[in-house]
């Protein structure tokens, strides 16, 4: 017996079901009954009730690729701000230099090694320093939409604007391209995706935006040449 | 003293109170969620002329660092009344009363938040009273629990609170400033509406045991009404702003 309809907005404390084995992420069991622990959309997923929170900060999972800003360099660790609950840590031996010789304020692209009670650990081996570009920040919940099915959305933006775009699972994105117009277009497209992530037909609208910008840019070039 | 000279009739012969309410009637309640853009979660609660904003920041890194707990989050609560919230300007800064109320609000909230979900972090809660007309601590808790829910923080239930008072020998629900000042007793109560447990219970003045029981029953009824409005406000906030399910 379920006491909610699919994709219903639930509030903390709302009774969801009497069957404690159905308790999934975002719910809790009290006196053999399942209640909502977070405000969000309730859904049955893989046989358990899952709550998709309306907003929540980034929760690191091992294997995620993230972008972060170095906030502190210590004798055997580097602290990185991912915009999550805690700073992530990169450990290295005291006899060595920090990986990639990172300094405070540097932006790094790294893989999450582990995440748990001891904090978030980033992998030092495949760490990459990001040298240039524009950082923008969107909600981590919108990242899957930005990437699209098998990367279709992000590849389209890359192709149409000629920019290289590094996407962190934590919601930070670095855009870097040969022209400022291209960068501007890419950022507008990303902002559009972030603001309309929930709506259908988004791919077409992004394609239209990219096309419009392209025409405008080539129009300007022609005008300059004529003048 | 001036107060003793003042003759305030708090309840008239028909049992109607100074602001025209029946003894078991709440003031008009207005609740909104997500009102402050720069916070992680926020809420606004208006009960009659009492107006309160609550904002939540976090979970985030703990400062000062030594307060960090390896297995759970810490709550940091500040109840504050704006200088202009009362008739006579309240000096800036935290008074004794505000420090105490910060503590009782924090303790009430600690019972619902799943602190162990957010180890090594701190959650800041700011309760700012914009206009005070009695019942600010209970309205503050009502607002703070909504702000926590709005921030997406895991919690077992919302909290709703209301104060029951005794004026001219009669129990009245949701007392205002006049009834608080000139009445005989003031009993703020905060309850988890779903789990039905009391998380804040204070009593200023004198009541018999029977009156306390009766007052508690009145508070429960008022709290259920406030809770309905809380749920409505939360759902209203998110139905306009549906989220992506791709996660």
Residue of B61, B118, B156 lying closest to A30 (CB–CB): B156
Question: What pLDDT score was predicted for residue B246?
Answer: 39
Cβ contact (<8 Å) for A9 and B234?
yes
Interface list for chain A against chain B, based on CB atoms closer than 8 Å: 7, 9, 11-15, 26, 28, 30, 35, 37-41, 43, 52-57, 85-87, 117, 119, 141-142, 144-145, 197-198
Does residue B155 lie within any of the structural domains? yes
Flag the least confident range among A83-87, B34-38, B41-45: A83-87
Q: Is residue B245's pLDDT more than 50?
A: no
Q: Which domain holds residue B178?
A: 21-246
Q: Is residue B67's pLDDT more than 90?
A: yes
Q: CA B233 to CA B230: how far, in whole Å?
A: 5
Q: Tens digits of per-residue pLDDT, B211-233?
A: 999 999 999 999 999 999 999 99
Q: Is residue B7's pLDDT more than 80?
A: no
- Chain mean position to CA B86: 17
Question: What pLDDT score was predicted for residue A213?
Answer: 84
Does residue B15 lie within any of the structural domains? no
Distance from B7 to chain A by nearest Cα, in Å?
46
Instruction: Report the residue of chain A nearest B194, measured CA to CA.
Output: A13
Question: What pLDDT score was predicted for residue B247?
Answer: 36
pLDDT tier, A200 (very low <50, low <70, confident <90, very high otherwise): confident
Instruction: Report the residue of chain A nearest B242, measured CA to CA.
Output: A198
Does residue B12 lie within any of the structural domains? no
Question: What pLDDT score was predicted for residue B1?
Answer: 46
Does residue B109 lie within any of the structural domains? yes
Distance from B140 to chain A by nearest Cα, in Å?
18
Cβ contact (<8 Å) for B246 and A37?
no
Question: What pLDDT score was predicted for residue B6?
Answer: 57
Look at chain B and report how many structural domains it folds into: 1
Does residue B16 lie within any of the structural domains? no
Question: What pLDDT score was predicted for residue B243?
Answer: 46
ipTM of the complex: 0.86
Contacts of A16 (CB under 8 A, 6+ apart): A2, A3, A4, A10, A22, A27, A34, A35, A36, A42, A49
Residue of B120, B121, B235 lying closest to A9 (CB–CB): B235
Q: Is residue B8's pLDDT more than 90?
A: no
Does residue B10 lie within any of the structural domains? no
Question: What pLDDT score was predicted for residue B240?
Answer: 58
Do B199 and B112 contact (CB within 8 A), yes or no? yes
Q: CA B144 to CA B138: how far, in whole Å?
A: 10
Q: Mean of the per-residue pLDDT values for chain A? A: 87
Does residue B117 lie within any of the structural domains? yes
Flag the least confident range among A64-73, A214-223, B94-103, B172-181: A214-223
Encoding tokens for residue A69?
């800003």
Does residue B113 lie within any of the structural domains? yes
Q: Which domains does chain A have, with CATH numbers?
A: 10-53 (2.40.50.100), 64-130 (2.40.50.140), 134-220 (3.30.1370.10)
């Amino acid at each position: 017996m379920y006491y909610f309809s699919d994709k219903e907005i639930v509030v903390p404390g709302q009774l969801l079901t009497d069957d404690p084995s159905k308790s999934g992420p975002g719910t809790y069991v009290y006196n053999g009954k399942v209640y909502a622990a977070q405000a969000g959309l309730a859904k049955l997923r893989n046989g358990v009730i899952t709550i998709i929170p309306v907003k929540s900060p980034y929760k690191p999972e091992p294997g995620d690729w993230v972008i972060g800003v170095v906030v502190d360099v210590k004798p055997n660790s580097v602290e990185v701000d991912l915009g999550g609950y805690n700073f992530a840590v990169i450990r290295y031996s005291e006899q060595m230099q920090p990986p990639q010789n990172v300094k405070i304020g540097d932006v790094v692209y790294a893989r999450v090694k582990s995440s748990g009670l001891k904090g978030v650990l980033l992998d030092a081996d495949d760490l990459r320093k990001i040298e240039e570009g524009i950082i923008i920040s969107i909600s981590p919940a919108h990242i899957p939409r930005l990437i699209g099915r098998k990367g279709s959305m992000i590849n389209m933006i890359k192709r149409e604007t000629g920019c290289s775009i590094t996407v962190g699972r934590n919601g930070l994105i670095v855009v870097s391209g040969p022209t400022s117009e291209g960068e501007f277009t890419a950022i507008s497209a990303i902002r559009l995706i972030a603001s309309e992530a929930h709506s259908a037909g988004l791919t077409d609208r992004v394609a239209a935006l990219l096309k419009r910008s392209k025409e405008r840019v080539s129009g300007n070039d022609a005008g300059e040449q004529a003048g | 003293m001036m107060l003793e000279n003042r003759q305030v009739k708090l309840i008239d012969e028909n049992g109607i109170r100074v602001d025209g309410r029946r003894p078991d009637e709440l003031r008009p309640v207005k609740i909104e969620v997500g009102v402050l853009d720069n916070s992680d979660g926020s809420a606004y609660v208006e009960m009659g002329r009492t107006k309160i904003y609550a904002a939540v920041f976090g979970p985030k890194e703990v400062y000062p660092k030594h307060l960090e707990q390896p297995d759970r989050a810490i709550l940091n609560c500040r109840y504050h009344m704006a200088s202009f919230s009362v008739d006579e300007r309240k000096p800036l800064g935290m008074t004794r009363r505000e420090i105490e109320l910060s503590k009782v609000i924090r303790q009430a909230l600690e019972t619902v938040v799943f602190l162990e979900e957010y180890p090594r972090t701190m959650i800041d809660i700011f309760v700012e009273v914009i206009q005070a007309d009695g019942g600010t601590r209970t309205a503050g808790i009502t607002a703070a629990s909504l702000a926590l829910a709005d921030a997406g923080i895991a919690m077992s239930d919302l909290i709703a609170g209301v104060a029951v008072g005794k004026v001219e020998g009669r129990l009245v629900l949701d007392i205002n400033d006049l009834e608080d000042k000139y009445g005989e007793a003031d009993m703020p109560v905060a309850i988890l509406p779903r789990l039905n447990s009391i998380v804040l219970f204070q009593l200023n003045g004198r009541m018999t045991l029977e009156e306390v029981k009766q007052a508690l029953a009145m508070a429960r009824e008022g709290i259920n009404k406030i809770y309905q409005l809380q749920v409505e406000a939360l759902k209203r906030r998110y139905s306009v702003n549906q989220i992506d399910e791709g996660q």
